[in-house]
Copies of this chain bind each other. A is one copy, B any other.
Amino acid sequence: MSTPTPLAVTPKPPYYAVIFTSVRTPADGVGYGVTSDRMVELASGMLGFLGVESARGDDRVGITVSYWASLDAIRGWREHAEHRLAQQHGREKWYACYRLRIALVEVEYGTGTV
């Protein structure tokens, strides 16, 4: 019997990771939550999307790592019109600060998935 896991089940490397780390402002919790869920739904339908993992603690620090087959796939996601609007709202009201890093995953191992 396999147990569902919130961790992404990704293919054998190499593939790409987009590491998005942020500190939330206290502003607009409802709007942020709705948009955040919608972005996961939207990304999941994009060509080259491999998975996503996300966590945010009580200190407002959050990390979302999405996994992609190629830089072209990441570019397509970054430039998606609805995502661009969400990015703008993020910069204007949701995030006190953020960093975005694009990285080539070379090695993966672990337990508990598939």
Contacts and interface: CB of A to CB of B under 8 A. Distances in A.
Interface of A: 5-8, 13, 17, 19, 21-23, 53-57, 59, 61-63, 65, 91, 95-113
Given A102-B106, A103-B103, 11 more contacts: A5-B23, A19-B103, A53-B61, A55-B62, A56-B57, A65-B65, A97-B112, A98-B110, A100-B108, A101-B107, A103-B104
Contact of A112 (B7, B96, B102, B110): B96
A55 B7 CA distance: 14
Copies in the complex: 2
Contacts of A23: 5-7, 112
Q: Is the interface of A mostly helix, strand, loop or mixed?
A: strand
A112 B62 CA distance: 14
Given A110-B100, A111-B98, A61 B54 contact: yes
21 contacts: A5-B23, A6-B23, A7-B21, A7-B22, A7-B97, A7-B98, A7-B99, A17-B17, A19-B19, A19-B65, A21-B53, A63-B65, A65-B65, A95-B111, A96-B112, A99-B110, A99-B113, A100-B108, A100-B109, A101-B107, A101-B108
